[in-house]
Structure 1
Amino acid sequence: MKIRRLTVLALSGAVLAAASACAPGTASKSESKDTQTGTVKVWLYDEANRAPKEKVVADAIAEFTANKPKVKVEVSYIPTDAGPRAEKMKGAFNDPNSAPDVVEFGNTDLFGYVAAGGLADITKDLEGWTEAGGIPKDLKDTTMVKGAQYGVPWWIGLRSLYYRTDVFTELGLKAPTTYDELVAAAKQVRAAKPDMFGIAVGGKYTFGALPFVWSAGGDLATEQNGAYQAAIDSPQSQAGVKAYTDLFTKEICPAEQCADLTGGKTVEAFAAGKAGMAILPNSSRSAVEAGAAKGKYAVVPLPGKTAGSIAPAFSGGNDLGVMKSSQHRTLAVEFMTLLASSKYQVAMFDAMGNLPTHAAAREQVVAKDPFLKPFMDTLNAGTKFVPKDAAWAKIDAQTVVPTMLQKVITGKADVAGATKDAASAMNDAFGGK
């Protein structure tokens, strides 16, 4: 089977969250218009091997303009690197004349952009969109701020549990269905093969750790009356932090080797054949196929606490939105929803490997490629997200979560102390300190 190019999905999760730390300043207060003719400007992310994406977008433009002789669509591809992209967005927010009408952005960037006043509230604009019901509520919620919708989920990146089928078969193991089974399998792999980690986990792998927190009923923070308060030090969150950090033992993944592992290093370890299991995104498939684990692995949803449950995954990915300064609001919304439709989400999957957010599109891509079923099962079980607050950029940039994990892993603090320190840092960020 041909392996689709999935590198674009690496933008989801931590990379996108880190990029949001460079959010632009306050947007210009100039009024938008709703001109029905002229040029609709669109900014999309540039990527390696962009040609397949361009072809899909060109097809959407042709469909969009087929009955609009006085309308053109002009697409520009902006950098994916955080610094250059932030400069482009800053310029657009501050100078409406240089701004696009429709823009692609990382879903964790949305809150900073909304706080800056740069994105349009499109809640009412989407009331007549017939495909809106196909997007799961948890994904739609990632585009909501204080009850208003500022974007449409375009694609998603999820993490599930990769495991070595050859090793599991040799040792008579089955894919784990509970946390306890995962721990037992990891210990058996490590005992039988001391040169392998039972499961590769990282002290700097925020989005590998959070499913354990969410599965235990905890969270990073909770929202009340529009304000966030840290919850990482709640009893449930502490239980989840303990479940994750308990994996950093000599019998599974030694602290001296695993405390500094990032998400990227975890991918490398599994791909190189140095781990029996790893929590990796769907986008890691190409890297694994290029390594020693090629043809020797399978994927299942990361198990939760109880048999049959799935640990919630972080719903990383990209959105499409309309700029508040748009001079072609109706046309911008129409083109945005066309590009975000099930038809073009499937086309983007075929072209770039992007996982669709729309239910009908998800069914089609799983039928084409059964490898994706565990990720879709994870999505259908319900995903989680970071706090929908511009302060998340600061929290992420300050490495609050990895610092908390490493304190526990290295023995510098116990779970209670490390989570209380993290909660304090989060609350300072939420309070603007």
Structure 2
Amino acid sequence: MRLRIAVAAALVLTVTACAPSTSAPTGTVTDGGPKTGALKVWLFDEPNRAPKEAVVQEAITEFTAAHPDTTVDVQYIAVDTRGERFKGAFNDPASAPDVVEFGNTDLPEYAAAGGLADLGSIVSGWSEGADLPADAKASATYQGTLLGVPWFVGVRALYYRTDVFQELGLKVPTTLAELTTTARAVRAKKPDMFGIAVGGKYTFGALPFVWANGGDITSIDSAPSRAGLTAYTGLIAEDNCPPQNCADLTGGKTVELFASGKAAMGIIGNFNRAAVDAGAAKGKYAVVPLPGVTAGSVAPAFAGGNNLGIMKNAQRPALAADFLTLLASKKYQGKMYDAMGNLPTLKSASDEVAAKDPFVKPFVDTINAGTRFVPLDPGWGKIDASAVLPTMIEKVATGKASVDQATTEAAKQIDEALTQ
């Protein structure tokens, strides 16, 4: 019988290795450890670190003022080599930091390695902890244990060209079926433009179609999953986005097509705003939640993002808990949005951001409608690294396999990875 893994909301960041699932899961954060001294923190580096660093430094100043004789030593680690750094810290307690930032898709690997502390009691005792939506907490939970506090989230919604829609007399689609009809109408009247940019290698553009139809990654060969994939791959066609142009498109390339004015619609993230505004589409687009199967519904989006956690080997767990909850607070989530554009995870913070920046509202509405996540299993790393899902989509898009054939093959690979 196929293994069914519960999935829930939550980068998209790639798991670089898989640890044995038999490892001890976690330690529990207690009130132990020195209350003074140097707190060690690992945060991800950024191409433009200065805005993030300024917010973090503000939090450090507030923290050290409230914790005499304490310093905070922040190291900004490279995302590409984070797997090796974390593995080393798991194996050498003396080198382990106290507080860490990690990608939410990194969670299964790190949890299976037993490297993260149980934050259940910390969040339940945190005044703002109840403001974390259930989907967000679920994405940071492994086998019933909360191992992180979601720090920010990123989701995708439907960008569309307002000028093109007005010129052609088109209405914003309210269902996925209407989306298909609208895309084809654009292509028919503007043959030099794709109706909607979709790609064979754009996994997180395709999955909302699967989820909206009632399918899932862990049942990719089921009838609902196949219905969703049929709808998505049907858009990779001459009457919308021809296979010769779109079969191997990634998410990044679909953003480029929309930004450059070559597509009337695109399933694009809040985190792609700057890229779109740097292109020909600037000032000529709007955003709505990607519609679902029925009018008024929203297709579930993949919720990527990063968590803050505490290492099991933390030398100062109590101080770590205080710093983590400060940095993850509504105050600093709001500051991180202003500095970096990171969508807050605390509902009150995201509501405030949406109120002051209308662009954010469709993404917040998408989150509030319910998001989905990849299987919380160490085997996901193998599935991702082997490109099981994009290969499946691309085979259908290029006519190398039918939906039934491609999903049967992918389901076998997924099952093998998740049952090891």
TM-score, normalized by the shorter chain, greater than 0.5:
yes
% identical equivalent positions? 61
What's the C-alpha RMSD, in Å, of the aligned pairs?
A: 1.9
Any gaps of 5 or more consecutive residues in structure 1?
1-11, 222-230
- Classify 1:402/1:31 alpha carbon distance in 2 versus 1 (closer, same or farther; 3 Å): closer
**Which amino acid is 1:96 matched to?**
P
| Runs of 4+ off more than 3 Å | 22-33
1:29 and 1:141 map into 2 onto residues whose CA distance is: 16
2:274 pairs, out of 282, 286, 295, with 286
Check the 8 A contact 1:203/1:258 in 2, yes or no.
yes
Corresponding residue SS for 1:21: coil
Letter of the structure 2 residue corresponding to residue 22 of structure 1: A
Displacement of 1:125: 2.5
Residue 264 of structure 1: aligned partner: 252
Q: Residue type matched to 2:200 in 1?
A: G
1:126 partner SS: helix
Q: Which residue of the partner structure matches residue 274 of structure 1?
A: 262
- 1:403 matched residue in structure 2: 391
What is the Cα deviation at residue 35 of structure 1?
A: 2.2
Aligned ranges 1:332-411 → 2 under 5 Å: 332-411=320-399
Q: Tell me, yes or no, if structure 1 residue 202 matches structure 2 residue 190.
A: no
* Structure-to-structure mapping, 1:186-197, within 5 angstroms: 186-197=183-194
Question: Which residue number in structure 2 is paired with residue 38 of structure 1?
Answer: 37
Of 32-41 and 157-166, deviating more is 32-41
| TM-score, normalised relative to structure 2 | 0.94
Q: Which amino acid aligns with 1:294?
A: K
Whether contact under 8 Å (1:138, 1:383) holds in the other structure is yes
CA deviation after TM superposition for structure 1 residue 112, in Å: 0.4
Is the contact made by 2:124 and 2:130 (CA closer than 8 Å) also made in structure 1? no
Q: Pick the aligned partner of 1:121 from 118, 121, 126.
A: 118
**Larger CA deviation: 204-213 vs 363-372:** 363-372
1:54 corresponds in structure 2 to 53
Residue type of the partner of 2:308? Answer: L
Q: Residues 216 and 225 of structure 2 are in contact (CA less than 8 Å); yes or no, is this contact kept in structure 1?
A: yes
My pick for the range that moved more, 269-278 or 403-412, is: 403-412
Residues 305, 28 of structure 1: alpha-carbon distance in 2 compared, 3 angstrom cutoff: closer
Note closer, same or farther for the CA distance 1:343–1:233 as it changes in structure 2 (3 Å cut): same
Partner deviation per Cα, 1:353-409 (whole Å, 9 max, x = no partner): 111011111111112211011001100100000000111011000000011111211
Deviations 1:281-314 (A, max 9, x none): 1111111111111111111100000000000000
Looking at structure 2, the residues matched to 28 and 173 of structure 1 have their Cα atoms a distance apart, in angstroms, of: 53
Q: Distance in 2 between matches of 1:28 and 1:279?
A: 36
Report the alpha carbon displacement of residue 28 of structure 1 after superposing the two structures with TM: 12
Deviation per CA, 1:329-349: give whole Å up to 9, x if none.
111111111110111000101
Structure 2 CA distance, aligned partners of 1:397 and 1:28? 24
Q: Residues of 2 paired with 1:27 and 1:285: CA distance?
A: 41
CA distance in 2 between counterparts of 1:399 and 1:387 reads 15
Show the counterpart of 2:17: 22
Structure 2: segments with no counterpart, 5+ residues: 1-10
Q: How far apart, CA to CA, are the structure 2 residues paired with 1:396 and 1:158?
A: 19
Displacement of 1:30 in angstroms is 11
- Tell me the equivalent position of 2:155: 158
Deviation string, structure 1 residues 2-40 (Cα, Å, up to 9, x no partner) = xxxxxxxxxx22xx0x2x123578799999952222211
- 2:71 aligns with 72
Alignment of 1:235 with 2:220, yes or no, is: no
Would the aligned equivalents of 1:24 and 1:86 in 2 still touch at CA under 8 Å? no
Whole-Å separation in 1 of the counterparts to 2:274 and 2:361: 17
Following the alignment from structure 1 to structure 2, what is the Cα–Cα distance between the partners of residues 123 and 29? 11
Q: Which position in structure 2 is the counterpart of 1:415?
A: 403
Indicate conservation of the 8 Å contact 2:25/2:112, yes or no.
Answer: no
Q: Does 1:147 align with 2:144?
A: yes
Cα 1:172/1:88, change in 2 over 3 Å: same
The Cα of 1:431 is off from its aligned counterpart by: 2.1
Amino acid at match of 1:194: P
Taking the aligned partners of 1:315 and 1:390, their CA distance within structure 2 comes to 18
- Whether contact under 8 Å (1:28, 1:96) holds in the other structure is no
What corresponds to 2:310 in structure 1? Answer: 322
The answer (yes or no) to whether the contact 1:219–1:232 under 8 Å persists in 2 is yes
Structure 1 pair 151–28 and aligned structure 2 pair: CA distance change class (3 A) = closer
Structure 1 residue 127: Cα displacement: 1.8
Pick the aligned partner of 1:245 from 233, 236, 252. 233
SS at match of 1:181: helix
Q: Which amino acid letter does the alignment assign opposite residue 134 of structure 2?
A: K
Structure 1 position 205, deviation (Å): 0.4
Contact 1:111–1:390 under 8 Å retained in 2: yes
Q: Deviations over 1:165-207 (max 9, x none)?
A: 1110000011111112111110111011111111000000000
State the distance in 1 between where 2:337 and 2:168 align: 36
